[in-house]
Chain A
Amino acid sequence: MSRYQLKEAHELVVDGKRYLFGVSTGAILGMDAPAARVVDFLKNRPGVSVQELAAHLESEGETGGTQEALEELVALEVVGSGGAGEWRGEGAEEPKGKGKIASLSACTPAPSHPCTSSSQPRLPFPVRSLVCHIARDCNLRCAYCYAEGGSYGQERALMDPEMTCRSVDFLLRHSGGNRRISFTFFGGEPLLNPQALRAAVQYGRAQEERWGKEIDFSLTTNATLLSEETVRFLSENRIGVTVSLDGPAAINDRMRTYPDGRGSYQSVLPQVRLLLDHHRTRPVAARVTVTRGVGDLGEIFGHLRGLGFSQVGFCPVSTRDARYALSLEDLSSFLEQLCHLAWRCISVRVPEAKGLQEPSFQGLESLEWAGKDLPASDSHPTRSGYNPEEAAGRPLPLSNLANLLRELHRGERRPYPCGAGLGLLGVGVDGEIYPCHRFAGSPDLSLGRIEQGLDLGRQTAFFQRVHSTKRAEKCLECWIRYLCAGGCYFESYVRHGDPFAPNLDYCRWLAEWIEEGLRLYVALAENRPGILMGLLED
């Protein structure tokens, strides 16, 4: 006789309807009343038989569709079924994709975590992204910089252009079956080393055809050193550009300064305009570092959008320094403002979505962001060619939200927080390979060298630490564990001196942000699926 048990799921109500997010499956499901009744009865009751369920619902006078709803819940892996006395743990086994229907007996007496599985990643793992430090130096001295003025605590240096080409070669050789691969120029300030940039792009473009691959080059820069010629090169070579800029002068210049303490905004502005006007082949994004006090995200967002950036992303500062780090109050203010912005971005596209908004978000009617708070300039009021109307068909301007919606749509489940050490690798100026670019200059975490390739022993050891760490235990009760998988290694490293420690500081923040994303996703999927698909396009 089969017995049923509810699997781990996170519940939410949107617009009066009930939804479930399957913790280990990543599936988002809507329930009607009979399905909801079955779920409610199964809560906190391990091993219920159909008879018990039917008897209960009958006593409540509700029988219609019970059996059917139960079967559907089993099929969608919300409810597990098993023979009496044969409760089996879910374990780490994943369906192997043989086209067979996996056994539905997998109930969950003990929760599982993606990282507690004993299976290590199969190495070598094909690399998809390489982030390359072509300069271990910077012309700015942003107060909060985790790279200590671009130097990563080491002697200032530029990467030899030959080494940069070798890094491109490394990516081509180690990318396995990946046909689209990405190479990011990072620093420090990468434009301090334009020779390496040019050499690598030319080399990469020449090699693409031979390997049958496509390299997506991108660059993260503070924009201070952009010239007309550089912008032309970036545009001609379809190089994606992200500019680090924190907002209007008053906000930006508090942190982003030259070594002499002078703010960088005024000198950056003309170059940013040059870039936005003349880089025609790829959208240009801005990346904002959020620091203590947070500030008005709406103002920052509006300002940067007004300048013409097609996407703006917010990222909390990585530091333990109390002068810059976000306090608990800051975190909640950051979250509230970010959610706020997210709903506004959606309501620009979907006026109906306003009806679905939480009460706290009502009253935010202003849909026009572009142009507001823009510093006076005669020649460039806004990015030429940028048209808010046209933007309706474009990806979401808030990159944090765009990424989240995409993950929820796919129902991503991750064994690791990110691809660091696997599909993503960082390369230091000297050719040393790190789990990601943020670890450059931490020799104890080196994974090999560009010339010699990855040191499999070190790579294995890295993932052994990931698997054996306590971070997994703390995550076992959390419903977002398959999306977060323990959080950024570097954040843990900065906060706790150990990349493998759990990132508890952000847990609540992240869960609430994901919950908000779920509501937005469900609201859109249920009401305007067409628009949702448009937003998800890359």
Chain B
Amino acid sequence: MIPREWTKALAAVATLSFLLGLSPPVLAAPAGLPKNPLFALKCGICHRPQKDGRVRRLESMRKSPEGWERSIQRMERLQRVKLQPGEREALVKLLCQSLTLAPAESRKVFYALAGKDPREEIPPGKEKLKEACTRCHSYATIAAQRRTREEWLKLKSLHLSLYPALVYQLREIDWPMVADEILKSLAKTFPFETPEWKAWKKRPAQSSAGRLAGSWRVIGSQPGRGSYVGSLELKPSGDGDYEVKRTVLYEGGQEESWTGKGTLYGGYALRAYFSTSEGRTKGTFSFFPGGKTMEGSWLCMDKLYLAGDEIGHRWGTGEAKVLSLSPGALKQGSSHVHLALQGIHLPTSPRPADLHLGPGIAISKILKASPGQLVVEVEVQGNAPIGERHVTVGKASGKGILVVYDRVDYLQVVPEFGLARVGGQANPAKAEQFEAIAYNRGPDGTPHTRDDLRLGPVKAHWSVEEYFYSPEDRDVEYVGKIDQNGLFLPSAEGPNPQRPFKTNNVGNVWVVATYRPDGTDQELKAKAFLLVTVQLFLQETMN
């Protein structure tokens, strides 16, 4: 949030500038595409500015950094644009000064920008998109763009010229006709000018100059490895670039430290590349207005199953908060439990009476206290009511981060619908990481209802079972193996002479987790569907 006084001052300056006929270049980011020699050299031959200095076509669309990157890559591929290292990033940065999504718009497609599988639902009433668009690309590809009506309508010709075979490929519909209809409707759904964007582009110019520098408290989790806490240090290295140092400690005790180079696009979207022991890893971070909080996601591009999601809070300015607890679920009647509260700006010398974990949980000792973490010993009474707890430490509080339960009632395997790809020889394999999440039936006493309590991932026994598609189905023997950490590693690509018709090692199977909660004889079981499909031949969007 911009402080109120600023807004007033800005409004005053804007009014004044308007009256004097001046543009306010110092205070506000440029509305369109600023003059730039690199742009003039590499792009300006075709995208020539008009008399008023405007580059109409480009200034009629807004894209995510990834979207612009892809467009520039296409220009390199098809229009023989030659770029030196770093120049593509510089052009994307230039375009994203204002011709990108407003933070609120970007949030809705963050999953796709972070390189996640687009397991998305097409909004109701937009079934035609499914027929004509999302069979080839994700819905996020569309939702991450804003265009003027004229520009939306041009997409039909663009598709027909870049992918002329599509009319054939989608021959059961009249694609050109359906495209006209869809593009008209998209022009209304995703117009170039939106209130979010108008508000955002008025942001003060300072917002991009090292505003995010400093130390960030990071809390996140990596499927298959558990939760972690740590810090992200951002050091400005000129022109909106940052040196990024990320250090995290996993709940199992391992520490990871990465350093890399980050580029900030549009004042809020940071893309950082790290070299880690597992390979090149991309970090996608989005800073919320106000510069005090952010959400992030990372993905190892050499091992696509290594990925995590996190949130960040900036040290030094914001309010005190409890962000997570470890463990996050307490069983009735457990004693001498060491409970770690992760947070920011926590009191450093609290007394047990400053902590409130709700009825039936007594704090017996404070073991450690620092601004980021508080470790305490607690006793959970046998009759402590089950449910979610509101946690407070002095002024700091956190909602929905602690639950009290009596027993594990059922398991759920996530993702419920897994996707793996054969590979490893000529094409990259894609493994899938599964997790077994334990649940309690919740205060209403009925499992599988809304008030069920998520108790977190548990160490389950993993196996793969046949999903009978036909009586002779034997996919289990071919598709790959799952390890006891829930990681499914697919088999190699290519025809398999051992299978009927030399079929590939593809198939669909159930991934089954079994788990016996401590102190019970009852074995819990849950399963998820796993599709093991063919290899990738092309990975265009991620770089």
The interface of chain A, by Cβ under 8 A from chain B, is 176-177, 210-212, 456-457, 460-461, 464
Question: Is the CB of B25 closer than 8 A to any CB of chain A?
Answer: no
Evaluate contact between A461 and B470: CB separation under 8 angstroms: yes
From 124 to 160 in chain B, residues with beta carbon under 8 angstroms from any chain A beta carbon are 125, 127-128, 131
Nearest A-chain residue to B501, judged by Cβ: A118
- Show 11 A/B contacts (Cβ-Cβ < 8 Å), sorted by A: A176-B172, A210-B125, A211-B127, A212-B128, A457-B468, A457-B469, A457-B470, A460-B469, A461-B471, A464-B470, A464-B471
Cβ contacts B89-129/A at 8 Å (1 or 0 each): 00000000000000000000000000000000000010110
Bound CA–CA A212/B132 (angstroms): 14
Alpha-carbon gap, A464 to B172, bound state (A):
26
Residue on B nearest A176 in the bound complex, by CB? B172
B16 at the interface (CB under 8 A from A): no
In the complex the two chains form, is B471's CB within 8 Å of A177's CB? no
B173 within 8 A of A: yes
Complex CA distance for A177 and B172, rounded to whole angstroms: 6
Per-residue interface assignment for chain B, residues 445 to 480, with 1 indicating a CB less than 8 Å from any chain A CB and 0 otherwise:
000000000000000000000001111000000000
Q: Kindly list chain B residues whose C-beta atoms are within 8 Å of the C-beta of A210.
A: 125
A170 → chain B, closest Cβ, in Å? 15
- The secondary structure that dominates the B interface is loop
Residues on B with C-beta less than 8 A from A464 are 470-471
**A456 and B469 form a contact (CB under 8 A):** yes
Smallest Cβ distance from B447 to chain A, in angstroms? 21
Within the complex, the shortest CB–CB distance from A127 to chain B, in Å, comes to 14
Bound Cα distance A461, B131 (Å): 28
> How distant is the Cα of A460 from the Cα of B471 in the complex, in angstroms?
10
Residues of A within 8 Å of B471, CB to CB, are: 461, 464
- How far, in angstroms, from A212 to B178 measured CA to CA in the complex? 11
Besides the known contacts A177-B172, A177-B173, 15 further A-B residue pairs in the complex with CB atoms under 8 A apart: A176-B172, A177-B131, A210-B125, A211-B127, A212-B128, A456-B469, A457-B468, A457-B469, A457-B470, A460-B469, A460-B470, A461-B470, A461-B471, A464-B470, A464-B471
Q: How far is the CB of A358 from chain B (nearest CB, A)?
A: 44
Which chain A residues border B469 with CB–CB below 8 Å?
Answer: 456-457, 460
CA distance A176 to B127 in the complex (A): 11
Nearest-neighbour CB distance to chain A for B374, whole angstroms, equals 50
Minimum-distance CB pairs A-B, first 8: A177-B172, A460-B470, A177-B173, A457-B469, A457-B468, A464-B470, A461-B470, A460-B469
Tell me how far the C-beta of A119 lies from the nearest C-beta in chain B, rounded to whole angstroms. 11
Which residue, B125, B173, B470, has most C-beta atoms of chain A within 10 A? B470
What are the residues of chain B within 8 A of A461 when measuring CB–CB?
A: 470-471
Shortest CB–CB separation between residue B473 and chain A, in angstroms?
A: 9
Q: Which residue of B lies closest to A178 (CB)?
A: B172
List chain A residues, Cβ under 8 A from B468: 457
Min CB distance, B507 to chain A, in Å?
13
Complex CA–CA separation, A212 to B131 (angstroms): 13
In the complex, the chain B residue whose C-beta lies closest to that of A463 is B470
Residues of A contacting B127 in the complex (Cβ-Cβ under 8 angstroms):
211
**Closest chain B residue, CB of each to CB of A456:** B469
A468 to chain B, nearest CB (A): 10
A210 CA / B125 CA spacing, docked (Å): 8
Question: A67: shortest Cβ distance to chain B, in Å?
Answer: 37
By beta carbon, the residue of chain A nearest B131 is: A177
A506 shortest CB reach to chain B, Å: 30
CA gap between A464 and B469 in the complex, in Å: 11
* Chain A, Cβ-Cβ closest to B473: A457
Within 8 A of A (CB), among B33-84: none
| CA gap between A464 and B471 in the complex, in Å | 9
Q: How far is A176 from B132 in the complex, measured between Cα atoms in Å?
A: 12
Query: Residue on B with the closest CB to A212?
Result: B128
- In the docked arrangement, what's the CA distance between A461 and B470, Å? 6
Q: Within the assembled complex, what's the spacing in Å between the Cα atoms of A461 and B472? A: 10
Q: Nearest Cβ distance between residue B438 and chain A, in whole angstroms?
A: 28
Residue numbers in B under 8 Å from A456 (CB-CB)? 469
A412 to B128, CA, bound (A): 31
Residues of B within 8 A of A212 (CB): 128
Which residue on chain B has the smallest CB distance to residue A177?
Answer: B172
Write the nearest CB–CB distance from B171 to chain A, whole angstroms: 9
What's the Cα separation between A492 and B172 when bound, in Å?
34
Interface string of B158-200 (1 = CB under 8 A from A): 0000000000000011000000000000000000000000000
- Neighbouring A residues of B128 by C-beta, 8 Å: 212
Q: Which residues of B contact A211 (CB under 8 A)?
A: 127
Q: Which of A211, A456, A460 has the most CB of B within 10 A?
A: A460
Enumerate chain B residues within 8 angstroms of A176, measured Cβ to Cβ. 172
A177 to B128, alpha carbons, bound, how many Å? Answer: 10
CB-defined contacts of B470 to chain A, threshold 8 Å = 457, 460-461, 464
Assembled-state Cα–Cα distance A460/B469 (Å): 8
- Nearest chain A residue, comparing its CB with the CB of B467: A457
For A457, the chain B residues whose CB sits under 8 A away are 468-470
The answer for the CA separation of A457 and B125 in the assembled complex, in Å, is 29
Chain B: CB-nearest residue to A460 = B470
Bound-complex Cα distance A177 to B173 (A): 6
Question: Once bound together, how far apart are the Cα atoms of A177 and B127, in whole Å?
Answer: 12
B residues 189-219 in Cβ contact with A at 8 Å: none
- Residues 372-391 of B, flagged 1 when their CB comes within 8 A of A and 0 if not, give 00000000000000000000
Q: How near does chain B come to A531, taking the closest CB pair, in angstroms?
A: 33
Highest count of chain B CB atoms <10 Å: which of A210, A456, A457:
A457
CA distance A456 to B469 in the complex (A): 7
Instruction: Give the Cβ gap from A453 to chain B, nearest Cβ, in Å.
Output: 15
Q: How far is the CB of A465 from chain B (nearest CB, A)?
A: 10
Chain A nearest CB, measured from B448 CB (Å): 17
On chain A, the residues within 8 Å of B172 by CB distance are 176-177
Taking CB atoms, residues of chain A closer than 8 Å to B131 are: 177
In angstroms, Cα B131 to Cα A464, docked, is 29
Complex CA gap A457/B172 in Å reads 25
Who on chain A is nearest to B173 by CB?
A177
Bitwise, B301-313 to A at CB < 8 A (1) or not (0) is 0000000000000
B-side contacts of A177, CB under 8 Å = 131, 172-173
What's the least CB distance linking A178 to chain B, in Å? Answer: 9
With both chains docked as a complex, state the minimum distance between the C-beta of B284 and any C-beta of chain A, in angstroms.
35
- Across the interface, which residues of A come within 8 angstroms of B125, CB to CB? 210
A326 to chain B, nearest CB (A): 36
Bound Cα distance A460, B467 (Å): 14
- Minimum Cβ distance to chain A for residue B442 (Å): 26
For the complex, what is the distance from the CA of A457 to the CA of B131, rounded to whole Å?
24
CB-based nearest A residue for B472? A464
B134 to A: closest C-beta gap in Å: 15
State how many angstroms separate the Cβ of A125 from the closest Cβ of chain B.
Answer: 12
Cα distance A212–B173 in the bound complex, in angstroms: 12
Q: Can you name the residue of chain A whose Cβ is closest to the Cβ of B471?
A: A461
* Bound complex: CA A461 to CA B473 (Å): 11
Q: How far is the CA of A457 from the CA of B466 in the complex (A)?
A: 13
**CB-CB nearest in chain A for B468:** A457
Question: Which residues of chain B from 484 to 510 have any CB-CB distance to chain A below 8 Å in the complex?
Answer: none
User: How far does the alpha carbon of A163 sit from the alpha carbon of B115 in the complex, in Å?
Assistant: 41
| Closest B residue, CB atoms, query A126 | B172
CA distance A460 to B172 in the complex (A): 23
Give the distance in Å from the alpha carbon of A464 to the alpha carbon of B470 in the complex: 8
| Chain A hits for B173, CB < 8 A | 177
Give the docked Cα–Cα distance between A464 and B473 (Å): 12
Question: Shortest distance in angstroms between A97's beta carbon and chain B's nearest beta carbon?
Answer: 9
Measured in the bound complex, the distance between the Cα atoms of B177 and A177 in whole Å is 14
Query: Among the interface residues A177, A211, A464, which one has the most CB atoms of the partner chain B within 10 A?
Result: A177
Closest to B125 in A: A210
User: What sequence of 0s and 1s flags, for each residue 295-325 of chain B, a beta carbon within 8 Å of any chain A beta carbon?
Assistant: 0000000000000000000000000000000
Least Cβ–Cβ distance between B226 and chain A, in angstroms: 36
Q: How far is the CA of A176 from the CA of B172 in the complex (A)?
A: 9
Q: How far is the CB of B475 from chain A (nearest CB, A)?
A: 13
Q: Shortest Cβ distance from B499 into chain A, in angstroms?
A: 14
Cα of A212 to Cα of B177 in the assembled complex, Å: 13
CB distance from B161 to the nearest CB of A (A): 20
Closest residue to B178 on the A side, CB-wise? A212
> Shortest beta-carbon distance, A218 to chain B, in Å?
25
Q: Nearest chain B CB to A455's CB is how many angstroms away?
A: 11
